[in-house]
Every structure is written in structure tokens, then in C-alpha cells.
Amino acid sequence: MTIYHETIIVGAGFAGICMGIKLREAGHQDLLILERNDAIGGTWYDNSYPGAACDVESHLYSFSFAPNPKWSRQFGPQQEILRYMDHCVSTYDLGDSIRLRSEVVSAAFEVSTGLWHITVSGGQEYTSRFFVSCSGGLSDPAYPGIKGIDTFGGKTFHSARWDHSYDYSGKRVAVIGTGASAIQIIPAIADRVKKLEVFQRTPAWVIPKPDKAISSFRKAMYEHLGFMRALYRWRLYWQHELMAIGFVVNPTLLRLFGKVAARHINRSVKDPVLRKKLMPSYVIGCKRILLSNDYYPALQKPNVSVMTEAISEINSGGVLTADGKQYDVDLIVLATGFQAAENVTRFAVKGLNGRDMNEAWQSGAEAYLGTTVSGFPNMFLVVGPNTGLGHSSMILMIEAQVGYIIQAIQQATQRSARYLDVKKQVQQDYNQKLQDELSRSVWQSGGCHSWYQNKDGKNVTLWPGFTFTFMKRTKHFEPDKYDWAVS
């Protein structure tokens, strides 16, 4: 039996939870959130690897409407973030509207009724008037196409699919990749493993992480003096916003960060050979700037080695590098990132005239305000194309998009519209300007290739500017940018 809801949301991560809470508050009670995992949390559920923690301060990386005065650290660990999300779900009574273990496999728009038909794995079908994809930019792991990877005789898993039933203590472990996930995993496991081989393709710029426990006094102050907590969040917000100047306005301003990071390497790494291996050759900020105090110390432990030779294959024993050296290991951790810029829809989406979204996005994903895609009426994306940030909390972008979508839904409801569809020209003009702005950014000119770009080098993931600019753009829904079908 097909189940109808006014709004169906995909994903119970930060975006889906925010969408659900705010829709309810706006009076739209009839909603359902479909979540593929066994629990809520999205990327914070998936990324349970040792050492997982946020790299944006928790007082900023949390909902503006649900402050948590009790964050234990500046940068909350993964379990605490999950608890915060659970707390939000129960505080806003959203639990009954979430269906777990319900992975959306397809969604198709029916023009005659203006309804979306959604199928989840297992075959259950749903219909909805509005369809909101909150399936996340970093939800599907990127597995490296290394020759022979399937022939490995030991254990392999991706950082975002950590197998906690496997005991890595005393084992020989290879970590492939040195991005944001790897630099948290390596220090967390180095002391417990027998040998840790780190395979680095491109070194990351790493700066010190201003992390520490938040004292009981500060927690009590934030709890009882709300304005002090708000002031702290405000300070964090502007600290992060300032960085956007370097990313998109004038990349030379990033030099200061470059100096801090170079000093961090020079001070932390004694061995000049290792120091050279770890020194990036691209402009800082081109790839995500990483924060860690324990990554460089971990790499210098006697049982840890950093390999920079390319991997030529994985065989039954372990990893073979291009210089002919074989590294036999028991476990290979693939800290190789996510399919962020390719295969952007996580499931088959068919819009007007049966057009497939991935087909529409052949030359790169694009949307209007990262939220609506021409030809896909009554559908909205949260954390859609070019809404990612290199400098601040994604929750700011999520809240801005959710506010915009709610206005769109309210307009459509008031007009009794069968559907609304963003005008093609509006989307094109918007993206032309966006790509012009991106072309001047460090992400395009900094001399690196990153997950921000698709295979053609087009940046389809990041917002080129301040978060307040995005908030301003999304503050008021503009009906004239849309085609309306009123039946």
C-alpha cells in the first residue's frame, strides 16, 4: 500500500532533522523522514572511527535554535554530537516521524498530479506533494580503484564504515589517505597497533587545533547566562567568516595561515626527510585546512611510517608501492573520502518528462541557491550543489536553506499550486555568476585537485563567499523566479 505524506524528507542527519523541526513549527505536521541507517545522525552516525570529532567548534556547529551549553570540549567528539542530535529529535518530538532502515532507491515526479512517487529498498512506496533530499554531501564513501584491492587476504574497511567488531590492537595496519578523517584516525590508533603504515598521496596543510575541555564554570555560565553563550557563538561566527576573505576575495591573505601551518610542521617534525614529505606544495586552503595537535606527533612514533611512493597494487599480503616495496599488513583502512562531486544524487531521481537528475547534471551538478533544480518541481535539496563551506559551520547553511524551503512550501500551499519549478534561465544565470566567483577562489587557483571539484575540475560543492551572503540570498523566497502550475 502506498503511503502519502505532504512532505517526505530523505535523511535524518543535521539537515533532515532541521527540516523536520522547522516544518512542524511552520504548521506542516504531515511529514516523514526516511533514513537508511539503523539510527539517526547521518554522517555523524556513519563516521564512528576512532578519534572522530568535529573540526568546527561545537558552539557554532549546532542549531542556532537549540543551543547546548554543556558541550564538553571546544570541538565535540562524535558520540557527543550524536547525543546532541538525539536530544534535538526528542525535544522536538520528531522520533515518530522518522522511519529508520528505509533507504530511498528512486523518486519520480508525476506531472498530472504534482506528486512525487518514492520507493525505498524492500519495495515500500510513498507519495508526497513536497520532496526534500537531505541525503548529505559526504554520505557515500569513495573506494579507491587500486589494482588488486579485492585480493587482499586481511581485513579492509572504509573510514566511514568502521567495523568495530574487528580488534586492531597489536595488528599491522595500513591507512590509505591523509585527509580530515585520516588525521583523526592515525593518532587515535597509533599506540594500539603493532605497526602503522600511512600511505600519503598529497600532504595536507595542518594547523594547531585550539581544542580543550570546557570548564564546569564556563558550562554553568553558558547555561545560566544565555547571552554569554550567544556572545561566544557570535565571536566564533565572525572568526570563521573572516577566513572567507582569504578563500574567495584575496587568497594572498591565506599566507598567514600558510606561515602558521609551515611553522607547525617545522616545529613538530624533527626529521627533515619526514618534514619534507609532509610539506604541501599547493596554496593553503586549496584543499580543506586540517586541525590537529596530535597528527604530527603520531607520525613520529617508532611504529609509524609515512610512505609517499604511489601505490601500484594491493595483493593478498598488503600494499605494493611503485618502488617495488611490499608492506604486509593485517588491516587496510581506506580513509579515501567521499563521492562528493560525482554521482550527486544518491538515488535515481526523475523529474519532468522522466528526465534523470544525473543526466541533467552531466556537466556538473547545479541548482538555484543549491536548493531547487529546474525540471524537478516540488523538490528541494538541503546541502545541494555549491552550498558546502571551506571555512565555517554547515549548520548555518542548512538553517538558511530550510527557511527558504519552508517559504516555498507555504507559497505553493497558499496558491494551491500543483507544482513550482525554478526557471531554467534563473538557474543558469545564477550558476554562471557563481562559477565566475569561484574561478577567483583559492580552490580553483591554489594548485591542487580536491573533492570540491568534479572530474572536469568544476567546483560543484562550495559556496564562494560569506555565510551571511547566502543567508541574505535565501532569506526571502522569490516566487517570480519560479514557474507555477496551478490546477
Contact residue for ligand NAP among 55, 241, 342, 478 (CB under 6 A): 55
How many residues comprise the chain? 487
Shortest separation between residue 73's beta carbon and ligand NAP, angstroms: 12
- Tell me whether residue 91 is exposed, middle or buried, using C-beta atoms within 10 angstroms of its C-beta: 0 to 12, 13 to 18, 19 or more: exposed
Q: Enumerate the β-bridge partners of residue 332.
A: 156, 174
**Interacting stretch for ligand NAP, rule CB under 6 A, among 53-61, 228-236, 243-251, 269-277?**
53-61
Coil vs helix vs strand at 469 = helix
Residue nearest to ligand NAP (CB): 179
Would you count residue 23 as binding ligand NAP (CB under 6 A)? Answer: no
Nearer to ligand NAP, 40 or 53 (CB): 53
Would you count residue 181 as binding ligand NAP (CB under 6 A)? Answer: yes
Would you count residue 45 as binding ligand NAP (CB under 6 A)? Answer: no
Q: Give CA separation, 298 vs 168, 193, 260, 321, in Å.
A: 17, 12, 19, 22
Which residue spans within 150-249 are E strands per DSSP?
155-158, 172-176, 195-199, 206-207
Would you count residue 185 as binding ligand NAP (CB under 6 A)? Answer: no
Shortest separation between residue 395's beta carbon and ligand NAP, angstroms: 12
Q: How far apart are CA 284 and CA 290, in angstroms?
A: 10
Residue 104 in contact with residue 119, Cβ under 8 Å?
Answer: yes
Q: How far apart are CA 306 and CA 178, in angstroms?
A: 10
Shortest separation between residue 484's beta carbon and ligand NAP, angstroms: 37
Contact residue for ligand NAP among 176, 189, 365, 402 (CB under 6 A): 176
**Interacting stretch for ligand NAP, rule CB under 6 A, among 15-23, 199-207, 208-216, 341-349?**
199-207
**Interacting stretch for ligand NAP, rule CB under 6 A, among 87-95, 105-113, 179-187, 473-481?**
179-187
Q: Torsions phi, psi of 197, nearest 5?
A: -105, 120
Nearer to ligand NAP, 120 or 335 (CB): 335
Q: How far apart are CA 407 and CA 415, in angstroms?
A: 12
Q: How far apart are CA 99 and CA 472, in angstroms?
A: 33
Q: Who's near 203: CB < 8 A, 6+ residues apart?
A: 178, 277, 278, 279, 280
Q: How far apart are CA 378 and CA 119, in angstroms?
A: 17
Q: How far apart are CA 295 and CA 299, in angstroms?
A: 6
Would you count residue 22 as binding ligand NAP (CB under 6 A)? Answer: no
Shortest separation between residue 370's beta carbon and ligand NAP, angstroms: 16
- The site map against ligand NAP for 123-142 (x = CB under 6 A) is ---------------x----
Would you count residue 202 as binding ligand NAP (CB under 6 A)? Answer: yes
Total number of residues that touch ligand NAP (CB under 6 A): 24
Shortest separation between residue 270's beta carbon and ligand NAP, angstroms: 23
Nearer to ligand NAP, 69 or 390 (CB): 390
- The site map against ligand NAP for 319-358 (x = CB under 6 A) is ----------------xxxx--------------------
Which residue spans within 267-329 are E strands per DSSP?
290-291, 304-307, 311-314, 318-321, 326-328
Q: H or E segment at 406?
A: helix 394-414
Contact residue for ligand NAP among 154, 179, 251, 385 (CB under 6 A): 179
Contact residue for ligand NAP among 40, 207, 278, 311 (CB under 6 A): 311
Would you count residue 392 as binding ligand NAP (CB under 6 A)? Answer: no
Contact residue for ligand NAP among 14, 131, 232, 451 (CB under 6 A): 451
Would you count residue 187 as binding ligand NAP (CB under 6 A)? Answer: no
Would you count residue 452 as binding ligand NAP (CB under 6 A)? Answer: no
Contact residue for ligand NAP among 288, 350, 391, 418 (CB under 6 A): 288
Q: What is the CA radius of gyration of the chain?
A: 23
Would you count residue 246 as binding ligand NAP (CB under 6 A)? Answer: no
Q: 203: which DSSP letter?
A: P
What is the number of H-type helices and E-type strands within the chain?
14, 20
Residue 430 in contact with residue 422, Cβ under 8 Å?
Answer: no
Would you count residue 178 as binding ligand NAP (CB under 6 A)? Answer: yes
Residue 194: CB atoms within 10 Å: 13
Shortest separation between residue 412's beta carbon and ligand NAP, angstroms: 33
Residue with cell 608492506: 327
Q: Which residues sit at the interface with ligand NAP, rule CB under 6 A?
A: 53-55, 138, 144, 146, 159, 176-182, 199, 201-202, 288, 311, 335-338, 451
